[in-house]
Structure 1
Amino acid sequence: MQCDTAPFNNNDLRMALKFAIDREEMVHKILIGYGKVGNDFPINAAYPNFDDTIPQHTYDPRKAAEYYKKSGHDGLPIVLRVSDVAFPGAVEAAQLFQQSAAKAGIPLEIKREPGDGYWSEVYLKQPFRATYWGGRPVQDQMYSTAYLSTADWNETHFKNAKFDSLLVKARGESNSAKRKAIYKKMGLLVRDEGETILPMFNDYVEGVRDEVKGWEANNVWEVMNGLAPHKCWLG
């Protein structure tokens, strides 16, 4: 969601949508179980300094309805634009979201966009749309790429001075425990004030034959973070 565009400039509405999505159902039906639920910030246990004590956002139609009522939304359908190119299963995921949100009294309208032109005409231009991100080696790179106020790829227009200050502070903190505590504060800010609804993280499912040598699992991106052609050989 783009936080500077109505109705997504209302955090109560954003929170309503976060509680209106059934994450477990999406992991089960979209990822066929090959993944884990997300918590509305782009970090999970694959990252160093991840704090697993951050409370998990769960599907709660009652709480979603309360936030929706508090937002004062006019009741018109909220348009979510999706395409098969946004990520595999994006259209089906949007349909599941529509059904779970309806149970909270939140009207979602799914607009299926053509794949041709989705990244040029919908992504970064329309206020509510589906997308995906690959991982980054460390939290700083993920946050600096997509959540820092001045980041070129700040797709949600998230601009939070406290978050920016914490991000810079974390870069200079050499104590791991203190840096982890800073990242926890940043995660909570994105989770509770940000514009990202992140329902799931996908696993990479890859097959490797016995004669392929040098293969190592990589948490950042598929095919050894793209390095398999350089680091593997046949033996």
Structure 2
Amino acid sequence: MSVTRRQVLWATAGIGAAGALAACSSGKSGSGPAADAASGAANEQPRAGGTLKVGALGKLSATTRDPHGTQANESDYLIISLLYDTLTVPGDKTNTAPRLAASWKPSEDLRTWRFTLADGAKFHDGTPVTADDVVWSLKRLRNTPSGKSRLPGIQPEGISAEDARTVVLVSDYPNAELPLLTRLTTFVLKKDTKDDALAGAPGTGPYLLDWYRDGNARLVRNDGWYGGKPLLDAIEVRIFESPQAMANALLAGQIDLASNVGAVAARTAAARKDVQVLRRPNDMAMPIVMRTADGPFADARVREALRLAVDRDAMVKQILSGYGSVANDILGAGDPAYAKDIPQRKRDLGKAKRLLAEAGFDTGKTYDLITTDDISGLAESATLFATQVREAGVKINVVKQESKAFWDATWLKAPLYTSYWGTNDSVVFLASKTMLSDAGMNETGWNEASFDETYRKAMGTADEAERTKLVHQLQEIEYATSGYLLWGMADGVDLAGSAVRGLPRLPGYGRVQLEKTWLAR
């Protein structure tokens, strides 16, 4: 499994179609008075000091210290994000906000982008960050096995330094959304950092490493951070293998924040007045992936039939415990340019059966749906899906695989499997990752010339209004013929103690931006 695959799915950074050039609404992200407290009451003034104890999901066997490596754990990504900065980050008002890059500007043809580094940016050892450091880091990232997906459309030779503070990225094609690509994985290291020195390599982030043991870490405030002095003295990250164990630790007062703990834990904690429940809409998609290139689901009529056989309301109610919303088979539901005018698919078993018959689909066979329990609700969604589509005459056998086997043998290959994506605030970001015919993570094996052509045209359009129209066309094509059956969008759910304030409200990986979080005690 590639780092980008895992990060984007949680972040996966909603990532918005308007990208760096359009505003995005953060949406409703809390639940009740406790959620209001998480942002701080109007009469409260942020205070410095204290240690925030954060729980995050992960497995000890999958820990990593490499910012550009395979990160199967949310706990690792949280630690790395606090130690190392990316060029840009998800923003409250714009989908792409400045971070290590203070500003960026495109050429007239939208192929060449110049990123200017933030004033005063330094590594934790006090040395200034230079464009050479960024170029070396981006080339290292691009040359990883999943580099094509991490920086789509950018070749290693298209990354250069113009001067000490200017990084130049040249795209293979005009790309009005290029800054969007630099949000989640472009962690910057010092030039020529050796692989065996990564564990202690200085970063540029708001916190410095105090200690790291068995997937757990203590980070202390970086008083010299170019982005301003963080409020907390320290953040301790504790790894948990299950959401329930993490929730129990929060309820017992052992940690202050249970990050991305899920709907079941939220429902359990809802009655506790001393616990804050934060909901971040459009946080995660858990689509059924139907392979379009070949196999039993290559016929678009079969894929349409399965979409019509699903009871989406029941899926959201039962799998997400109501902590989510019905989706319409289009990735990027949190995008300001999301096509809400496309008719919502509803269950129609009669039409589903007719389409299957027209396609000559063999209803006498049983088809494997492969899943994993990497995240809460994923395997359960496969089981309920199998029950529902049986009413249309389709027999499904749910096969649960261990995580490594799933990502090595099933993902990108199997005819029918589950997937999941976070950071769902951008239609075009996910299109570039998963739906273009040459996408590095083309999960469905989709090769649709009209989609590729519309995407390239949209990316080459500087006018925001015109680009939005083209993004709408992209969604219409995706809705009609892609290999995704996206039944719902899960809310991101965090639990926090009563003293925690200033938590980020963004979906996906926006939640790792803890530099403004503080403790009211």
Which residue of structure 2 lines up, in the alignment, with residue 176 of structure 1? Answer: 464
- Secondary structure of 2:438's counterpart equals coil
Unaligned runs of 5+ in 1: none
**Scaled by the length of structure 2, what TM-score is found?**
0.42
Alignment partner of 1:90 is 2:378:
yes
**Scaled by the length of structure 1, what TM-score is found?**
0.90
Which residue of structure 2 lines up, in the alignment, with residue 59 of structure 1? Answer: 347
Question: How many residues in Structure 1 have an aligned counterpart in Structure 2?
Answer: 230
Are the equivalent residues in 1 in contact too, given 2:293–2:447 (CA < 8 A)? no
Task: Tell which deviates more after alignment, 130-139 or 72-81.
Answer: 130-139
- Whole-Å separation in 2 of the counterparts to 1:226 and 1:42: 22
Which residue of structure 1 lines up, in the alignment, with residue 368 of structure 2? Answer: 79
- CA RMSD, aligned part only? 1.9
1:91–1:139 distance in 2 versus 1, CA, 3 Å: closer
Shift of 1:188: 1.5
1:82–1:138 distance in 2 versus 1, CA, 3 Å: closer
1:231–1:151 distance in 2 versus 1, CA, 3 Å: farther
The aligned amino acid for 2:519 is L
Task: Tell which deviates more after alignment, 26-35 or 10-19.
Answer: 10-19
Task: Tell which deviates more after alignment, 204-213 or 137-146.
Answer: 204-213
Which residue of structure 1 lines up, in the alignment, with residue 325 of structure 2? Answer: 36
Which residue of structure 2 lines up, in the alignment, with residue 203 of structure 1? Answer: 491
Which residue of structure 2 lines up, in the alignment, with residue 24 of structure 1? Answer: 313
Which residue of structure 2 lines up, in the alignment, with residue 226 of structure 1? Answer: 512
Which residue of structure 2 lines up, in the alignment, with residue 132 of structure 1? Answer: 420
Q: Deviations over 1:120-141 (max 9, x none)?
A: 1221222211110112553321
The aligned amino acid for 1:105 is G
The aligned amino acid for 2:298 is N
Q: Deviations over 1:60-94 (max 9, x none)?
A: 11111111111101221222111212x32222212
- Whole-Å separation in 1 of the counterparts to 2:413 and 2:298: 15
Shift of 1:153: 0.8
- Whole-Å separation in 1 of the counterparts to 2:326 and 2:518: 35
- Whole-Å separation in 1 of the counterparts to 2:355 and 2:519: 57
Are the equivalent residues in 2 in contact too, given 1:51–1:180 (CA < 8 A)? no
Task: Tell which deviates more after alignment, 153-162 or 169-178.
Answer: 169-178
Are the equivalent residues in 2 in contact too, given 1:79–1:109 (CA < 8 A)? yes
The aligned amino acid for 1:125 is K
- Whole-Å separation in 1 of the counterparts to 2:403 and 2:442: 22
- Whole-Å separation in 2 of the counterparts to 1:145 and 1:231: 31
1:179–1:122 distance in 2 versus 1, CA, 3 Å: same
Which residue of structure 2 lines up, in the alignment, with residue 9 of structure 1? Answer: 298
The aligned amino acid for 2:370 is R
Which residue of structure 1 lines up, in the alignment, with residue 83 of structure 2? Answer: none
The aligned amino acid for 1:197 is L
- Whole-Å separation in 1 of the counterparts to 2:496 and 2:335: 25
Q: Deviations over 1:112-171 (max 9, x none)?
A: 223342221221222211110112553321211111111101111111111111111212
1:208–1:114 distance in 2 versus 1, CA, 3 Å: closer
Which residue of structure 2 lines up, in the alignment, with residue 145 of structure 1? Answer: 433
Which of the two has greater strand per residue?
2
Are the equivalent residues in 2 in contact too, given 1:65–1:106 (CA < 8 A)? no
Shift of 1:231: 4.0
Q: Deviations over 1:87-110 (max 9, x none)?
A: 322222122112211111122222
- Secondary structure of 2:298's counterpart equals coil
Structure 1 or 2, whichever has the larger Rg, is: 2
Shift of 1:214: 3.5
Are the equivalent residues in 1 in contact too, given 2:504–2:512 (CA < 8 A)? no
Unaligned runs of 5+ in 2: 1-289
- Whole-Å separation in 2 of the counterparts to 1:136 and 1:155: 16
Q: Quick one: percent identity of the two aligned structures?
A: 29
Which residue of structure 2 lines up, in the alignment, with residue 123 of structure 1? Answer: 411
